[in-house]
């Protein structure tokens, strides 16, 4: 059986103080990961080959294939020569619904796109998270990012992967997942959170990437009303978060950050609380 690893050693030549030296460094692996439902391949992503059951649950949830983990009857991870097939079994009515969805999207497309259904899916409405009572302090924002930075062993080793964490006030980060793809890391996190029977509405999603609209969509589907990032959001991400009632906190740098939507959830707090 093929055994995929999450890292590899790569030869390199480094320049330090004007001197070239040969050596090696640890880099992350990137592997084709296919998700199959009912024996049919649905999607293939390049991803880090770790936490694949969480990935399967989170991807199935954020792509609208399932409404919750109870709609999955089994997951089998099958390694091949060139990639990994994650075979997801769905309960009967959900499997029937997915087959009907596939049939409705089948057919010739002359414009070179994936059809109107795919365009609509890309800008799909997201759940309203405005009713969540979650409130965070300045100290919570700073602590969430600090804890995420500390909880990424693969990034410390390679400096080449993204991280996503779920922060609960008073408890800290209860789950962290890493991947070469920022969307993959968030999907894995979503799977881990619902697998732990935690409620998305109770906590904030924290990520090490920029905030694209897909990140807002996935966090909203999880139910989280706060999305925190070290980088900036896109305009569409801001508009989508505004409509969903989600608070976007971005560009967190030490004790400083910027709030782009629904700032009422963030209180000034005291930075002394971080310690």
Q: Alpha-carbon distance 219 to 233, whole Å?
A: 14
Q: Alpha-carbon distance 134 to 199, whole Å?
A: 11
Catalytic residue among 2, 111, 113, 235: 111
170 in the Ramachandran plot: left (φ > 0), alpha (ψ -120 to 50) or beta? left
* Cα four-point dihedral sign 104, 186, 2, 86: negative
Distance spanning both ends of the chain, measured CA to CA:
48
Query: Is 114 annotated in the active site?
Result: no
Q: Alpha-carbon distance 135 to 143, whole Å?
A: 14
Burial profile 55-69: b = 16 or more Cβ within 10 angstroms, e = fewer: bbbbbbbbbebbeee
Strands in 247-253's sheet, in edge-to-edge order, are 172-179, 162-168, 204-207, 226-229, 247-253, 256-261
Residue 213: phi and psi, rounded to 5, are -65, -30
Angle at Cα 29 formed by Cα 28 and Cα 35, nearest 5°? 130
Hey, which residues are catalytic here? 111
């Amino acid at each position: 059986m093929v055994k995929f690893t999450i890292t590899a050693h790569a030869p390199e030549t480094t320049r330090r103080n004007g001197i070239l030296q040969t050596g090696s460094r640890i880099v992350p692996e990137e592997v084709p990961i296919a998700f199959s439902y009912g024996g049919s391949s649905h999607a293939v992503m390049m991803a880090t080959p770790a936490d694949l059951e969480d990935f399967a649950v989170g991807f199935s949830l954020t792509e609208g294939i399932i409404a919750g983990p109870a709609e999955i009857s089994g997951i089998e991870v099958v390694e091949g020569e060139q990639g990994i097939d994650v075979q997801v079994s769905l309960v009967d009515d959900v499997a029937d619904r997915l087959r009907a969805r596939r049939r409705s999207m089948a057919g010739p497309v002359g414009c070179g796109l994936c059809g109107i259904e795919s365009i609509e899916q890309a800008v799909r409405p997201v759940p309203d998270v405005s009713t969540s009572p979650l409130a965070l302090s300045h100290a919570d924002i700073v602590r969430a990012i600090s804890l995420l930075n500390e909880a990424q062993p693969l990034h410390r080793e390679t400096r080449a992967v993204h991280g996503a964490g779920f922060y609960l006030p008073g408890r800290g980060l209860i789950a962290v997942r890493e991947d070469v793809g920022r969307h993959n890391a968030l999907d894995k996190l979503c799977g881990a959170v619902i697998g732990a029977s935690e409620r998305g509405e109770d906590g904030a999603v924290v990520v090490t990437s920029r905030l694209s609209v897909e990140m807002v969509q996935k966090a909203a589907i999880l139910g989280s009303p706060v999305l925190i990032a070290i980088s900036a959001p896109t305009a569409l991400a801001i508009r989508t978060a505004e409509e969903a009632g989600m608070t976007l906190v971005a560009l967190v740098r030490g004790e400083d950050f910027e709030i782009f939507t629904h700032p009422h959830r963030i209180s000034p707090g005291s930075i002394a609380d971080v310690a």
